[in-house]
Chain A
């Protein structure tokens, strides 16, 4: 596990337009400088929000990444729920799921 490196990449990506441009041009190149294991590397290449959430990426960093990928809000929430279904509980950090996957908004429930 190199969660720290995953989050550091996303931190750089979220705040630096040059890293964003590099990522949009070549995700492989953008990731090259970070020490990632295969699972983390693939999750970032794929923009796999569910797996990144389960790996323990801080939700604020992940939320900004999802916005960069153009993921709609409720889809973003569903991707995290689906990640837990597929991969099990969040493995690290404080952004765990406590509500059993329920939606806490009328707007989400009405979709």
Chain B
């Protein structure tokens, strides 16, 4: 077994870029502590590479050629694409792992038609997680994207299959791999409703995720998600893929809806690799 760690975490440009504006500093600091714990757990797992299953926001892909799933094969990845001062993360170059990424991609292709990209630019969807999980950028990163922005989106059962394929691929190589899914649950980011969070919907989803309740996780329609979780809710795909890759129940280590300035219910969880 070479998947040595699996988890999920939220992202959002405000988590770093609006940290100085936060009124509820206790909740902010508790989130940062939970992310630091996640970083420590990944480090303790002995992981040699980090797969980030992300939901990018038009850093690499547009509606002229939008892949449902894509794996980054590049030697390096650049980010953030956003104004570094706005995001409060300096522009940097992140090391990839092209040879391993290629082996993983070939195995994933056995069951899922995945795109690949030898160039990758990172937006806040990857940069914010990396800022906390590998702040020195000393862990090679293989970026993975699930289209959560440009409908039509992959059905959730295909997302689950993609997560399972990632797991099978990880288990086919000797390297120790950590995998995180990063997204939001309910949120209405980048709209006037930014900060709106449906906490009850979030908690129901997280309960299903922690119990590894596949049937319940795959029961959401995009219409229901849009109604109850906003357009940001489409990012549940990253959490579902991570759950499929992990295979076991989870431990919810942190959740709060008390940081609406971050425009997302802030979440950190570890998923049992089973």
- Which A residues lie at the B interface, using CB under 8 A? 4, 7-8, 11, 14-15, 53, 58-64, 67-68, 70, 73, 77, 80-81, 84, 94-99, 101, 103-108, 110
Contacts and interface: CB of A to CB of B under 8 A. Distances in A.
A60 B190 contact: yes
Across chains A and B, which 5 residue pairs bring their CB atoms closest together, nearest first?
A59-B190, A104-B195, A60-B57, A67-B86, A63-B190
A24 to B, nearest CB: 13
Contacts of B149: 58, 60
A105 B196 CA distance: 8
A67 B83 contact: yes
A99 B194 CA distance: 9
B59 A84 contact: no
B191 A105 contact: no
A15 B58 contact: yes
B188 A107 contact: no
Interface string B122-157: 010000000000000000000000000111000000
A64 B83 CA distance: 8
Nearest to A67: B86
Contacts of A110: 23
Contact of A94 (B14, B60, B192, B226): B226
A15 B121 contact: yes
B191 A64 contact: no
A69 B15 CA distance: 20
Nearest to B188: A98
Nearest to B151: A94
A80 B62 contact: no
Contacts of A62: 190
A80 B192 CA distance: 6
B190 to A, nearest CB: 3
Chain B's interface size range is 35 or more
Interface in B174-202: 188-197
Interface of A is mostly: helix
B215 interface: no
B260 interface: yes
Contacts of B231: 59, 94-95
B260 A105 contact: yes
A94 B195 CA distance: 17
B81 interface: yes
A73 B193 contact: no
A27 B123 CA distance: 24
B18 interface: yes
B261 A101 contact: no
A92 B194 CA distance: 18
30 contacts: A4-B63, A7-B63, A8-B64, A11-B62, A14-B58, A14-B81, A15-B81, A53-B191, A59-B190, A59-B231, A60-B149, A62-B190, A63-B13, A63-B189, A64-B57, A64-B58, A64-B82, A73-B14, A73-B18, A77-B192, A77-B194, A84-B192, A94-B226, A96-B191, A104-B194, A104-B196, A106-B261, A107-B23, A108-B195, A108-B261
Contacts of A68: 83
A93 B190 CA distance: 13
Nearest to B22: A107
A44 B18 CA distance: 26
B59 to A, nearest CB: 6
A34 to B, nearest CB: 13
A46 B212 CA distance: 49
